[in-house]
Amino acid sequence: MSEPILLANIGEPDSQTLEKYRSSGGYEGLRRAISDMSPADVVEEVKKSGLRGRGGAGFPTGVKWGFVPKDSSKPRYFICNADESEPGTFKDRLLMEQDPHAVLEGIIIGSYAIGAREAFLYIRGEFADSYRAMAAAIDEAKHASLLGMKILGSSYSLEIHLFRGAGAYICGEETGLMESIEGKRGHPRLKPPFPAAVGLFGCPTNINNVETVANVPLILRKGAPWYAEIGCERNTGPKLYCLSGHVKRPGVYEAPLGVRLHDLIYEHAGGMWRQGLKLKAVIPGGSSTPVLRADESDIDMDFDSVAKAGSLLGSAGVIVMDETACMVDSLLNILKFYAHESCGQCTPCREGCNWLVKIVRSIEDGKGKSADIDLVENVAGNIMGKTICPLGDAVAMPAQSFVRKFRHEFEEHVRLKGCPLKGAH
Amino acid sequence: MAETVTLTIDDRQITAPKEMVVIEAARRAGIEIPYYCYHPYLSIAGNCRMCLVEIEKAPKLQIACSIEVTEGMVVHTGSKNVLDARAGVMELLLINHPLDCPICDQAGECRLQEYSLAHGSGTSRFEHEKHHGRKNVDLGRHIVFDEERCIKCTRCVRFCDEVSKTGELALLNRGDETIIGVFPGHRLDNAYSGNTVDICPVGALTLKEFRFRSRVWFLEQTPSICPGCARGCNVTVWAREDRIYRFTPRENPEVNKVWMCDEGRLSYLPLVARERLLEPLMDGEPVRLQDAVDRAANLLGGVGERAPRVGVVASPRATLEDLALLRRLCEATSATDGIPRFERGEDDDLLIRKDKTPNLAGARLLGFERPAAEVLREAAEGKIDVLYVMDEDLFSPAADSDEGDLARRAARKVRALIVHASFRDRVPSQAAVVLPAAVYGEYEGTYINFEGRAQRVRASMRRAGRSRTHLAILSAVAQRAGWGEWAREPSDVWKEAQALAAPLSGIGYDDVGTDGVMITGKGESG
């Protein structure tokens, strides 16, 4: 295991304080950006680092920053998306609670790079500790002239607005989040137009995940070449992996992008939680990503390799299931979540999610027919790619992959008229 | 000419203005892409997903209502992917729908029905309990809501946000529990609420005044003009067996787009509710039409004595043609004339005009400018012998200002009162002759709205009883009075109107068409 970079401060006493953060080079990246570099230079530096967005899509961050038009007469906004809600994902929370200044420094640098005078930090409502830590960090930074008017004596000023969500998963979708900030229902918007052109309050907007912005100070402090050395080709930098499920030591682990999934499970997380039980399945990137069978799961955990294996790195929420996990029941659990969180705006997701719940529940309860198994895949297909926002895909992908990869379990439920693993764990 | 682009839809080359959405470009080329939530006069919501089409080079199906045409774009609206997606959306829209078509008012004009036939699969694979919702929700004065039938297209919400700008409606709750609702303590009571029923593509919103009255396929549709105010909203009149069942707005981008106000929408109700005058009256007693006409002619002509002093009160509710003949009557009797105003409330920013009559501009065009009050005052002071009134509502106790009072005083004072009346309730007992006049829906002709647009009002019913159009009554009186043969057909009278009003020259009766025509140089003058 390599030395942690992103989590270097985590677990240290007073890690959330400005003093502690500065003692290990904190805000040096910001100082370099503001005193030595133009905003365009900062964008270029982040491009060179190869940093890809850690929210799930893996889009190159510097390229995304470059999309914000420089000639707009409207204000530009920088948003940090801290509405971390994907089941199996709990990394952003750790950063905000224990290293809030890293997040804050990243937001300031990003705002400087796109020319934003106002930034928004949208924190999941349930994250009370994150909110408190970030609010305290903002106060400290303001007093130290790292935020507010004339940052570090320069001509650059930035105001940060803290915004707490009210408990909807869909507000983590970038345009749903913007609607929420604007005081409306969290309904994702039609795209195009994209936020870079028409975002928050109709203005050019750049939105980035917490972990993404936490990488930015490192790049500015130590340089893009240093950063690009970490990880593997086209997948650079350190990454936080969230291990949960049937492992001995669930938690957040840092490793360079491209770490072996089996290393995460068997080394970092200590392997299966109970002696003698074998790995059955892994969801590699949060509950919305396609499940992998155990025999497919010895892969590199970077964006491209996981995609090649038929799933997605997503938010790197690794959910591990051993032999006692019923795949029908597990799917039902996932589907219930998305049916509950569907915003209800567009037909396929609004109507389809709960239909899937009803079908899979009847299979789990032993009332399913064999035609129902195909129906799950087919209804999921009628949602996949046909909705306004990715929530539709987020429900369709697990539904399709669970049925395709564990079809025998679904058939067994139908044949036995019940769940053979009920009460096995 | 706006900039255009050339694209291909279903192997056809189409030229469309830049920034037009694909669904419109296709529609103009005669290619129908089905939709629920799209509405050309509302913002784009893109939520129903019915208009998904395949656009080459796009990674997945796109909604035709929000994607703008681009040069060289290639669109397929009938590929297998598209048809499958449509069938999928249809199935999903119906899984929680009650399928209560036999008792649903929307039957016959329901998008769910129409698209089920065209794009649905015929069967459903949904075998679970449907999600239930409230029925018969009283949303407002005119509107009833059925939660279960609603497909959440949000057209009604957008209407209230963007057109009436009253914002009463919103989506509530989440997922498949999403419903349309009003904010607590509020009701859907804006002056335009009925439009939400028109634009509801399903049977979720229904109009209290129409629901359960008739199946729409039994009703005959006539393109006409709302008589409720000086806007002249274009409407479709839905009638059966000489009875009007509803008005719905008819598209005219220049006048009312596709909207109308609730008051205008329900302006046919008095036609049904008030008791019609079905036969002529002389001194309160029913008589033959010929006798009534004779008496009127004699009174106006002043047989056997000096010519009477005649006063005429025209009606801004009569057609241009009616008023052209009334003008001739004024000339034949050297009458003094005036026109009443029926005004209430204020003009608003959308459609409503405080002038509650459809043809004041037409009346002015024919020289009826003087306030009726002046003529009535003369009559009340004994300066007029015979008073000829075209609209009995002049005598309404509710008539604005002093006019009603003056009219009643004048009725008592003059030697003879002749009235065209359609209803019994407001006819003054002093009237010497009452001629039964046809009502809206029974006659054809022209209204000129406050902007100077001539529009065609059309008949959708037979005349009731022995009532006659104003035209027929006036030409019969003229004939008996020996003034000659006057035209009785609106298209012929139009020529007479042209002779009386220069701005009409060069415009034929049929030029008015279904969309109307602007009369040059004639706008509202005050």
pLDDT tens, residue by residue, A37-87: 999 999 999 999 999 999 999 999 999 999 999 888 999 999 999 999 999
> Got the DSSP string for A349-387?
HHHHHHHHHHHHHHHHTT---HHHHHHHHHHHHHHTT-S
The number of angstroms, rounded, from the C-alpha of A360 to the middle of its chain's C-alpha atoms is: 27
Give A-chain residues touching B176 at CB under 8 angstroms: 339, 342, 344, 350-351, 353-354
Q: ipTM score here?
A: 0.93
**Domains of chain A, each with CATH number or no CATH:** 18-229 (3.40.50.11540), 235-322 (3.10.20.600), 327-416 (1.20.1440.230)
Q: CATH 3.30.70.20 spans which residues of chain B?
A: 126-272
Give A-chain residues touching B96 at CB under 8 angstroms: 351
User: Rounded CA gap, A251 and A249, in Å?
Assistant: 6
Task: Give the pLDDT of residue A7.
Answer: 96
Task: Give the pLDDT of residue B20.
Answer: 96
pLDDT digits (tens, 9 = 90+) for B329-357: 999 999 999 999 999 999 999 999 999 99
**Is the preceding peptide bond at A290 cis, omega within 30 degrees of 0?**
no
Contact B95 A355 (CB under 8 A): yes
| Residue type at B431 in one-letter notation | A
B150, closest residue in chain A (CA to CA): A347
Reduce the DSSP state of residue B289 to 3 states and report it.
helix
Task: Give the pLDDT of residue B164.
Answer: 98
User: Rounded CA gap, B369 and A224, in Å?
Assistant: 84
- A355 touches B: beta carbon within 8 Å: yes
- B175 touches A: beta carbon within 8 Å: yes
Q: Are A391 and A343 within 8 A, CB to CB?
A: yes
Looking up tokens 């401060």 gives A9
Q: pLDDT band for B525, please (50, 70, 90 cuts).
A: very low
Average pLDDT over residues B428-442: 95
Contact A385 B131 (CB under 8 A): no
User: Rounded CA gap, B327 and B317, in Å?
Assistant: 15
Q: Which of A227, A175, A163, A212 is nearest to A60 (CA)?
A: A212
B176–chain A nearest CA distance, Å: 5
Contact A353 B63 (CB under 8 A): no
Task: Give the pLDDT of residue B427.
Answer: 86
Task: Give the pLDDT of residue B522.
Answer: 44
Contact A346 B47 (CB under 8 A): yes
Q: Helices H, strands E: what count in chain A? A: 17, 13
User: Rounded CA gap, A254 and A242, in Å?
Assistant: 9
- Whether domain B276-518 has CATH 2.20.25.90: the reply is no
Burial of B419 (0-12, 13-18, 19+ CB in 10 A): buried
User: Rounded CA gap, A159 and A147, in Å?
Assistant: 7
Give B-chain residues touching A382 at CB under 8 angstroms: 84-85, 88-89, 91-92
Say which of A187, A354, A358 has its CB closest to residue B175: A354
Tokens representing residue B13 in the block: 């080359």
Say which of A187, A351, A387 has its CB closest to residue B176: A351
Q: Are A96 and A82 within 8 A, CB to CB?
A: yes
Q: Is the pLDDT of residue B524 over 70?
A: no
User: Rounded CA gap, A252 and A164, in Å?
Assistant: 23
A240–chain B nearest CA distance, Å: 30
pLDDT digits (tens, 9 = 90+) for B276-289: 999 999 999 999 99
User: Which of A336, A340, A350 is most worth mutating to test chain B (most B CB atoms within 10 A of its CB)?
Assistant: A350
Task: Give the pLDDT of residue B306.
Answer: 77
- B80 touches A: beta carbon within 8 Å: no
Sign, Cα dihedral of B487, B489, B490, B494: negative
- B438 touches A: beta carbon within 8 Å: no
Task: Give the pLDDT of residue A399.
Answer: 98
pLDDT digits (tens, 9 = 90+) for B147-181: 999 999 999 999 999 999 999 999 999 999 999 99
Give A-chain residues touching B95 at CB under 8 angstroms: 351, 355
pLDDT digits (tens, 9 = 90+) for A119-175: 999 999 999 999 999 999 999 999 999 999 999 999 999 999 999 999 999 999 999
Instruction: State the CATH class of domain B126-272.
Output: alpha beta
Average pLDDT, rounded, for chain B:
94
| Long-range contacts of residues B495-503, Cβ cutoff 8 Å, at least 24 apart | B496/B324, B496/B325, B496/B328, B497/B320, B497/B321, B497/B323, B497/B324, B497/B366, B500/B324, B500/B327, B500/B366, B500/B367, B501/B365, B501/B366, B503/B365
How many residue pairs bridge chain A and chain B with CB atoms within 8 Å of each other? 91
Average pLDDT over residues B236-244: 96
B89–chain A nearest CA distance, Å: 6
Q: Point out the residues of chain A with pLDDT beneath 70.
A: 1, 424-425
Q: Is the pLDDT of residue B201 over 90?
A: yes
pLDDT digits (tens, 9 = 90+) for B450-493: 999 999 999 999 999 999 999 999 999 999 999 999 999 999 99
Say which of B44, B60, B151 has its CB closest to residue A385: B60
Q: pLDDT band for B441, please (50, 70, 90 cuts).
A: very high
User: Rounded CA gap, B215 and B361, in Å?
Assistant: 37
- B44 touches A: beta carbon within 8 Å: yes
Reduce the DSSP state of residue A271 to 3 states and report it.
coil
A345, closest residue in chain B (CA to CA): B47
pLDDT digits (tens, 9 = 90+) for B34-84: 999 999 999 999 999 999 999 999 999 999 999 999 999 999 999 999 999
Q: Is the pLDDT of residue B304 over 70?
A: no
Q: CATH 3.10.20.740 spans which residues of chain B?
A: 4-78
pLDDT digits (tens, 9 = 90+) for B368-419: 999 999 999 999 999 999 999 999 888 886 655 577 889 989 999 999 999 9
Task: Give the pLDDT of residue B401.
Answer: 59
A389–chain B nearest CA distance, Å: 11
Contact A344 B88 (CB under 8 A): no
Give A-chain residues touching B91 at CB under 8 angstroms: 382
Give B-chain residues touching A368 at CB under 8 angstroms: none
Q: Which of residues 362-421 of A touch B (CB under 8 A)?
A: 362, 375, 381-382, 385-388
Please give the helix or strand (H or E) that residue A95 lies within, else none: helix A91-98
- CATH architecture of structural domain B4-78: Roll (3.10)
